[in-house]
Structure 1
Amino acid sequence: RQLYTSLKKVGTHYDVWANNTGLVLVVGARSAATSVPDQVYRSTDGGTTYSIATFPPTAYGYLNSIHMIDNNTGWAVGSNTSVFKTTNGGASWDSVPTPFTEAGKILSKVIFVNANTGWIFSKTSMTGDSTIIKTTNGGTSWFKQKLSTNTGSSAQIYWADFVDANTGYCVNYTPRPYKTTDGGDTWTVQNIVDVFGGFMYGIDMVDANTGYICGSSGKMYKTTNGGTLWDTLTNRPGWTSPSWYGVKFKNANIGVFCGTNGMTAITTNGGTSFTLENTSASTQYNLFLTPLAGYTVGTNSSIHRNNALPTGTENNLSEVPTQFELAQNYPNPFNPVTTIRFALPKAAVVTMKVYDILGREVVRAINNISYNAGWNSFTFDGSKLSSGVYFYSIIIDNKVMDTKRMVLVK
């Protein structure tokens, strides 16, 4: 069963942000120069419906990246060195001047660690090789930074992530990861375990030590020592066939990669194994994870939502359960989300099916996902179901283990 819901507009989407109360912002290309500027799509109901945000009519380029500091204030960047800011939750956007003024240049990433401190990166060469700008006053002013002594194409940066105001990481054209510990003033190239000559498209740091990189030729890298060494994930899905453009992790174990062929790869054990999910898009460019859902965006005007991503392992991990247990969902009755927990005495492949009162399967809430031993939980979203009585059954290694009753009241 397809776990994603496709929501259409003309054009390509490149990045997405969402919160836990239903606000979703999607950025990408304008449908046409003669159309209403529609580079930003906005939803306030978790992606069920979308509207076009108010955007400067003379902005004809596309947006590559969005970062929201909070539910009201955020930034978006893209082609033609364009930078935009919102202060009303993405309902409207205004252009912001920066030191990036060269025509035809493409900005790849914007990220803030707090309301004042943020960076913008360029994926095309700049005069003086300054492909980074930084603000420490909320965007009132910006100053230029460089990626070490790199020049030309080696100074071009595809993506970046910061864990605090000092420690940050990026991936560049060479392709290699770089790290800063002084807020971007200096950068040091990091080691990868192999000799790779393709592209590194994305990086996501869980904390200062653990992070993941994705790239072309099916490449997935992981570090657990702050980038002293980036090792390849050996059991990556698809091997060399897909290019992975986006990567996001909820914690050190649960994460999603997205890329070509409409594929997403979900791991619940830090990349030891993956479950593939396919979408209707040709390419998924990026994604965002909330506690309740995951969103991917890409070509074919695609916006997809997955409500069945695991939320992680709970309780005391040092006390592995001695037997399987399926807990009653809470709250129950619920509207429209509820948490379902289950205990595994050993690692297993889990499927969970939801049935209506007539015994018809209505949702495949978990679809053959590997979980570690311990207590696990996920959030079930019944927003697309009618009020009524439902039953959820858990299947462990292809064996039905237990079924419980829950009530949806809208």
Structure 2
Amino acid sequence: MKTKGIERRLYDIKRCKKSIQGHGKISCIAIIAILLSCIFGISGCSSKNTVLNERDDNTANESMQTDTETKMQEVSSNIGLLKQINMFDQQTGWALTSENEVFYTNGGVDYFQSVHKVETADQNTDNFVNACFVDEITMYLVYFLGENIVVESTMDAGQSWKQVLVPYKEYGGANEAFINFLDGQNGYLLYCSDPGSGQMTKILFGTEDGGEHFEVISDLSNEISGYPTGISFSSSSQGYIATTYHGESKYLFQTTDCGVTWESLSLEQYDKIADVSYVEGYPPVFYGKERQEGKLILKYVGTKKNSNIEYTTQDGGLTWNINEPLQCDSIQSYSFVDEKEGYIVDESGRVFHR
């Protein structure tokens, strides 16, 4: 369904206020046994008949850095390099490949099956496609085609798909767009133009009907500095936009009024890294029934080395606790099943699991 004349207006503040209110001794033999168990435990295992398998070769260990870092095991993928992966439990989840093919599983990571492929994304955007995996059967895709932003969705685990067109030409050229849904009805779409002379237009849209219609919430071009890397909301009123820009001190922005206004957040610095030049942000991810638990990863760019630092929240992002560095060289996207289990896709499309 094509949206007709998207009306440029702010959301009803009353709706926002309402949503805010609603919401001994050890023998030598024992020591040897322990050491052997640790060695085999770290190396992992592989199987020739699976789609995603934890690797036990040298490649998986190349990214290991120091004992203080959070260990992650590389996973080999027979469905190709990935852009995104999101498992909701041990059985059910989604994946988006670098070829813009969508895979779904309800039998665990060993049994992904192709359910859709985007063939028509704008080549001028390097075939950019972004996905939001809402739940076990619902997901959204966003990409550029012609004069429109295309929003595709499925609410039956990929058996059928719906498409909505959102015009963007009046704001600038095609570049990137990010989408985030709280449920099957309420969502946000962030359009980012091609950066001309370092200036990027950023328009935030919202929907309350599952994406049938999108309305402009706010022009964030002057409020959000840097280049966005994604958007996520922990509730209908509270959301985050992460950004990156070499030398820029701002990397995370927060809204508490449904996306109308935004302010920069500065989190506790990881003080074990010397000579930090700047910080790059990645959009936080929230999990759990109430979406109050979440993870955030920041990339500390130093003069000698870079480190990806993990933060956790138990209150939807109001407060963040800093953790030790993650064992990975780069990050493209990430997701978490719960506090302990998660997946990271690096910039080359490789997948790491812990």
Would you say 1:263 and 2:263 are equivalent positions? no
> Following superposition of structure 1 onto structure 2, how do residues 384-395 of structure 1 map, counting pairs within 5 Å?
none
Contact 1:99-1:143 at 8 Å conserved across structures: no
Contact 1:237/1:276, CA 8 A, preserved across alignment: no
1:158 and 1:200 in contact (8 A); partners too? no
**CA distances 1:240-273 after superposition (whole Å, capped 9, x unpaired):** 8121124124578764321433222525574556
Tell me which residue corresponds to 2:113. Answer: 94
Q: 1:165: Cα distance to partner? A: 1.5
Greater length-normalized contact order (CA 8 Å, ≥ 6 residues apart): 2
Partner of 1:119: 140
What is the deviation of 1:236? 6.1
Contact 2:86 2:336 (C-alpha < 8 Å) held by counterparts? no
Question: Is residue 202 of structure 2 the alignment partner of residue 175 of structure 1?
Answer: yes
Q: Is the 8 A contact 1:178 1:188 kept in 2?
A: yes
**Are 1:187 and 2:206 counterparts?**
no
Distance, in Å, in 2 between the alignment partners of 1:108 and 1:189 is 19
Q: Which residue is equivalent to 1:210?
A: 238
Aligned counterpart for 2:328 among listed residues 255, 259, 281: 281
Provide the aligned C-alpha RMSD in A.
4.1
2:255 aligned partner: 223
Number of residue equivalences: 263
Task: Report if aligned partners of 1:167, 1:208 keep a CA contact under 8 Å in 2.
Answer: yes
- CA distance change for structure 1 residues 40 and 244 in 2, over 3 Å: closer, same or farther? farther
Q: Is the 8 A contact 1:245 1:259 kept in 2?
A: yes
* Alignment partner, residue 312 of structure 1: none
Change (3 A) 1:143 1:156: farther
In structure 1, give the amino acid aligned to 2:184: A
Contact 1:67 1:110 in 2 (8 A): no
Instruction: Give, as a single letter, the amino acid of the residue that structure 1 aligns with 2:259.
Output: G
In structure 1, the partner of 2:264 is 232
Distance 1:176 1:284 in 2: 25
Partner of 1:303: 352
Where structure 1 has 5 or more consecutive residues not aligned to the other structure, the ranges are 1-5, 10-35, 306-410
Deviation, structure 1 residue 171? 2.9
Q: Does 1:293 align with 2:332?
A: no
Instruction: Summarize the alignment of residues 7-86 of structure 1 with structure 2, pairs less than 5 Å apart.
Output: 40-41=52-53, 52=76, 54-55=78-79, 62-68=81-87, 71-86=90-105
Could you tell me how far apart the structure 2 residues matched to 1:203 and 1:164 are?
15
Contact 1:86 1:92 in 2 (8 A): yes
Tell me the amino acid that sits aligned with residue 225 of structure 1: D
Q: Does the 8 A contact of 1:73 with 1:89 survive in 2?
A: yes
User: 1 CA distance for matches of 2:241 and 2:347?
Assistant: 22
Q: Tell me the SS of whatever aligns to 2:242.
A: strand
Post-superposition shift, 1:86? 2.4
**1:147 CA displacement:** 3.6
Distance 2:130 2:78 in 1: 22
Per residue, is there more helix in 1 or in 2? 2
Does structure 1 residue 105 correspond to structure 2 residue 127? yes
Residue 223 to residue 121, structure 1, CA distance change in 2 (3 Å): same
1:126-205 superposed matches below 5 A: 126-150=145-169, 156-173=175-192, 174-191=201-218, 192=220, 194-205=222-233
Partner AA of 1:188 in structure 2: E
Q: 1:223 to 1:185 in 2, by over 3 A?
A: same
Q: TM-score, normalised by structure 2?
A: 0.59
Give the Cα separation in 2 of the matches to 1:187 and 1:107: 18
Residue correspondence of structure 1 range 327-346 to structure 2 within 5 A: none
Q: Is contact 2:86-2:94 (8 Å) kept? A: yes
User: What is the CA distance between 1:99 and its match in structure 2?
Assistant: 5.9
Displacement, 1:206?
1.4
1:166, distance to aligned residue in structure 2 (A):
1.3
Query: Residue type matched to 1:288 in 2?
Result: S
Following TM superposition, by how much is the alpha carbon of 1:97 offset from its aligned partner in structure 2, in angstroms?
3.8
Please report the TM-score for the alignment, with normalisation by the length of structure 1.
0.52
179 and 160 in structure 1: CA distance in 2 versus 1, 3 angstrom threshold: same
Q: 1:246 to 1:168 in 2, by over 3 A?
A: same
Deviation of 1:168 (Å): 0.6
Inter-CA distance 203–40: structure 2 relative to 1 (3 Å threshold): farther
| Structure 1 residues 231 and 8, CA gap change in structure 2 (3 angstroms) | farther
Between the aligned partners of 1:292 and 1:152, the Cα distance in structure 2 is 39
Aligned 8 A contact 1:118 1:135 in 2: yes
The answer to whether the 8 Å contact 1:258/1:286 transfers is no
- What letter corresponds to residue 72 of structure 1 in structure 2? Q
Closer/same/farther in 2, CA of residues 159 and 37 from structure 1, 3 Å limit: farther
Shift of the 267–71 alpha-carbon distance from structure 1 to 2, 3 Å rule, reads closer
Query: In the TM superposition, what whole-angstrom CA distance separates every residue of 1:6-29 from its partner, at most 9, and x where no partner exists?
Result: 9799xxxxxxxxxxxxxxxxxxxx
Cα pair distance change 1:155/1:51, threshold 3 Å = closer
